Amino acid sequence: EHHITWHRVINPPWTAIHNCAGTVNSAAFMGSPAETVLLDGATADKEFVNIDSLNTPQFGWRICYVFREKAIKSGGNVYGWNHAYRSLPADDPGWSKLVDQASEGLYRTSDFTPLFQFAATT
């Protein structure tokens, strides 16, 4: 389990947080191969940033992301959240990617880059 905290965020990427929660990384992320890091969730707390020229306190957010890593190394490969070990057939056991009828993995994949970018202001 990895916790990454981002302090004093003025415009948090709320949409990215909602879209990425419960998904796995679609590409390498912080040194971990694709589909091995799951965004388990995030917490957001108000945080003091500074006092402006009118003596008004300014606040931002402290965002804490919770990531879970599952990187199973076997036979020179790395398997992650969308893989399961199968013991059958007995002559060819190994790791298989779990997919549904639409060939989608058990966990949807997402680009985690937007989690660390300020949201656009409107």
> How far is 87 from 70, CA to CA, in rounded Å?
20
pLDDT, one tens digit per residue, over 34-93 is: 999 999 999 999 999 999 999 999 999 999 999 999 999 998 999 999 999 988 887 878
Mean pLDDT, rounded, for 7-35: 97
pTM for the structure as a whole: 0.86
Domain boundaries, the chain: 2-116
Please state, in angstroms and as integers, the Cα–Cα distance from residue 26 to each residue in 1, 38, 40, 69, following that order. 18, 10, 15, 13
Lowest-pLDDT range of 16-20, 79-83, 107-111, 115-119:
115-119
d(CA 80, CA 92): 20
Q: Write out pLDDT tens, residues 85-114.
A: 988 887 878 899 988 888 888 999 999 999
